[in-house]
């Protein structure tokens, strides 16, 4: 593995169920993550995914790739275009640094509106 | 994309005073780390990592914040300072919240049975920014999450408290204000004479009582000789564009970009910043003759501006 290596993309259909299940599993009861009517009142066309779910999906993308021995050390993400129901997010990753067992991966999650998430993950791989 | 805007209402100065103050002190997780919550998380995320299952399960590290959440019964651990900051932003019309950044570092794994405690500090409050969502302030907090007194992870979190686009914020006090009013000038004892002149449609320039140097804008002392003595002379109203910029972004509710802001050299020799009117923004040129006129911005405010093509 070397800097510049690309991880295979992961396509995640953004269903209403995923958004609501992620919000509840992360104990985030903000109405914009489960109530479409109240989300519209706040200027959003529909409900949208909460940041904790995005964080969880980014972590999963990395450990899915690096396997059962991999351990997350750092996850730093920034949100852009929201994940609304009916969209698809495609996660892609590029290795930016390899230091022994520690790997830094630059992650982008793109949906139909643009970049939903950009960030960096530091993961320890198979010791 | 975002742009910094001036603080017409002084709100930012109030908000910035909360930087460094606690956001949560001695918070405790509502549940200890537990397998059911871990399993529900993994189901939602579609995460099948074997480390998160079985008798030696650890929690997915990305669950760090979930253990600190208030849930439907709400946060009981937030500090007075954080509540005050939120109330200030709500009162100013920035009632909507969206999370924008999350940076987590995981120092030791969390296992079922671990009791969670946390402390957080308000790390920064941004000046007012305009984003696609609307105008508001970013608030960044940094949390230390512990179990059994040991640091398990750190969590930096940034939210935007904003007024949705198209819905202008109220003033800092929560009172209604028409959206399209220009900022009020700050009138004090050093410049009150200037604004009295404007009210009488006279553009007054200060003249040093000792060395007779003209100065603008108004100041208590002479920059040439230091004298505090002065009187005024009335500008003839003739001038030329010495320099200019065209404002495209950020937009401010009272203004309609693009528009030209000119540095006008008066016939008397001093320069002042003002709008150049009567000509499209892209036709303003250095050296263009302009003539003073007074713009009534609203029922309370008149301003000196300069009309292009000035010599009459």
**Dihedral of alpha carbons B169, B175, B179, B185, sign:** negative
pLDDT confidence band for A127 (50 / 70 / 90): low
- For chain A, how many structural domains are there in total? 1
DSSP assignment of B36-68 equals HHHHHHHHHHT---GGGSSTT----GGGTTGGG
B283 and B206 housed in the same domain: yes
B100 and B229 housed in the same domain: no
Contact B18, B85 (CB under 8 A): yes
User: Region A6-21: what's the mean pLDDT?
Assistant: 98
B130 and B8 housed in the same domain: yes
SS3 B126: coil
Nearest-CA distance B255 → chain A (Å): 23
B59's tokens:
């929690």
B130 and B200 housed in the same domain: no
Whether A114 maps to a domain, the answer reads yes
State which H helix or E strand residue A8 sits in: strand A6-13
B110 and B201 housed in the same domain: no
Taking alpha carbons only, the member of B20, B155, B168, B26 closest to residue B81 is: B20
pLDDT means per 10 residues, chain B with 312 residues, are: 54 92 92 98 98 95 97 80 91 91 97 97 94 90 96 97 67 48 86 92 95 94 93 95 89 80 95 91 93 88 87 48
Cα dihedral B106→B110→B114→B119 (10° resolution): 20
Nearby residues of B188 by Cβ (< 8 Å), 6 or more positions away:
none
Count of pairs with CB atoms under 8 A, one residue in A, one in B: 111
CATH number of the domain enclosing A68: 3.10.129.10
Whether B172 maps to a domain, the answer reads no
B285's tokens:
């040129």
Which residues is A89 bridged to in the sheet?
A12
- What gap in Å lies between CA A52 and CA A25, rounded to an integer? 9
pLDDT of residue B9: 63
Whether B62 maps to a domain, the answer reads yes
- What gap in Å lies between CA A78 and CA B11, rounded to an integer? 26
Which residues is B282 bridged to in the sheet?
none
B99 contacts A50? CB cut-off 8 A:
yes
pLDDT of residue B172: 42
CATH number of the domain enclosing B219: 2.40.50.840
A29 contacts B63? CB cut-off 8 A:
no
Q: Which residue among B72, B97, B104 sits closest to A75, beta carbon to beta carbon?
A: B104
Whether B171 maps to a domain, the answer reads no
Task: Label residue A41 left, alpha or beta by phi (over 0 means left) and psi (-120 to 50 means alpha).
Answer: alpha
Whether B170 maps to a domain, the answer reads no
B139 and B216 housed in the same domain: no
Residue-range definition of the domain harbouring residue B35: 3-164
Whether A91 maps to a domain, the answer reads yes
Q: Which residue among B69, B103, B164 sits closest to A27, beta carbon to beta carbon?
A: B69
- For chain B, how many structural domains are there in total? 2
Contact A108, A115 (CB under 8 A): yes
What are the pLDDT digits (tens) for A78-96? Answer: 999 999 999 999 999 999 9
Whether B182 maps to a domain, the answer reads no
Contact A102, B85 (CB under 8 A): no
B113 and B27 housed in the same domain: yes
Whether B272 maps to a domain, the answer reads yes
Contact B79, B21 (CB under 8 A): yes
Residue to substitute from A30, A40, A59, interface B, most B β-carbons within 10 A: A59
Q: Which residue among A42, A68, A79 sits closest to B164, beta carbon to beta carbon?
A: A42
What are the pLDDT digits (tens) for A113-125? Answer: 999 999 999 999 9
Q: Residues of B with CB below 8 A from A76's CB?
A: 101-104
Contact A84, A54 (CB under 8 A): no
Whether B30 maps to a domain, the answer reads yes
- What gap in Å lies between CA B140 and CA B123, rounded to an integer? 5
Nearest CA in chain B to A64: B49
Q: Of B164, B183, B214, which residue is a domain's last?
A: B164
pLDDT of residue B312: 47
Q: Residues of B with CB below 8 A from A73's CB?
A: 105-106
Whether A1 maps to a domain, the answer reads no
- What gap in Å lies between CA B182 and CA B176, rounded to an integer? 15
What ipTM did this prediction achieve? 0.97
Peptide bond between residue B217 and the one before it cis (omega within 30 degrees of 0)? yes
A43 contacts B44? CB cut-off 8 A:
no
- What gap in Å lies between CA B37 and CA A27, rounded to an integer? 10
- What gap in Å lies between CA B147 and CA B117, rounded to an integer? 6
- What gap in Å lies between CA B230 and CA B209, rounded to an integer? 4
B153 and B69 housed in the same domain: yes
Residue-range definition of the domain harbouring residue A26: 6-124
Q: Which residue among A27, A75, A78 sits closest to B62, beta carbon to beta carbon?
A: A75
B200 and B278 housed in the same domain: yes
B20 and B131 housed in the same domain: yes
């Amino acid at each position: 593995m070397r800097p510049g290596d690309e991880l295979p993309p992961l396509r995640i259909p953004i269903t209403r169920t995923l958004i609501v299940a992620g919000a509840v599993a992360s104990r985030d009861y903000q109405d914009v993550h489960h109530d479409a009517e109240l989300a519209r009142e706040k200027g959003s066309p529909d409900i949208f995914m909460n940041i904790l779910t995005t964080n969880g999906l980014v972590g999963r993308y990395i450990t899915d790739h690096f396997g059962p021995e991999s351990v997350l050390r750092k996850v730093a993400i920034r949100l852009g275009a929201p994940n609304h129901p009916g969209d698809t997010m495609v996660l892609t990753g590029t290795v930016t640094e390899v230091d022994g067992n520690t790997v830094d991966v630059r992650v982008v999650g793109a949906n139909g509106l643009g970049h939903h998430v950009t960030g960096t993950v530091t993961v320890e791989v198979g010791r | 994309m975002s742009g910094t805007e001036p603080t017409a209402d002084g709100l930012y100065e109030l908000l910035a005073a909360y930087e460094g103050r606690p956001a949560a002190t001695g918070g405790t997780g509502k549940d200890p780390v537990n397998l059911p919550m871990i399993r529900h998380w993994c189901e939602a995320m579609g995460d099948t990592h074997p480390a998160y299952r079985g008798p030696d399960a650890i929690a997915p590290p990305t669950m760090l914040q979930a253990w600190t959440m208030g849930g439907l019964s709400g946060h009981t651990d937030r500090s007075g300072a954080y509540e005050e900051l939120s109330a200030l932003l709500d009162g100013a019309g920035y009632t909507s919240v969206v999370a924008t950044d999350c940076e987590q570092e995981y120092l030791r794994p969390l296992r079922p049975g671990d009791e969670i405690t946390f402390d957080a500090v308000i790390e920064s409050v941004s000046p007012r920014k305009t984003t696609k969502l609307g105008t508001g302030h970013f608030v960044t907090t940094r949390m230390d999450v512990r179990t059994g007194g040991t640091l398990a992870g750190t969590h930096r979190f940034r939210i935007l408290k904003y007024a949705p686009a198209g819905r202008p914020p109220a003033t800092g006090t929560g009172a209604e204000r028409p959206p399209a009013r220009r900022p009020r000038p700050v009138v004090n004892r050093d410049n009150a004479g200037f604004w009295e002149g404007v009210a009488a449609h006279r553009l007054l320039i200060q003249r040093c009582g000792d060395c007779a140097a003209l100065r603008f804008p108004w100041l208590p002392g002479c920059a040439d000789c230091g004298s505090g003595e002065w009187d005024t002379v009335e500008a003839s109203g003739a001038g030329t564009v010495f320099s200019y910029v065209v404002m495209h972004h950020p937009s401010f509710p009272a203004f309609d970009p693009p528009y030209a802001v000119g540095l006008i050299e008066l016939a008397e020799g001093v320069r002042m910043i003002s709008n150049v009117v009567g000509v499209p923004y892209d036709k303003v040129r250095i050296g263009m003759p302009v003539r003073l006129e007074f713009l009534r911005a609203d029922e309370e405010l008149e301003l000196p501006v300069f009309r292009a093509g000035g010599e009459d």
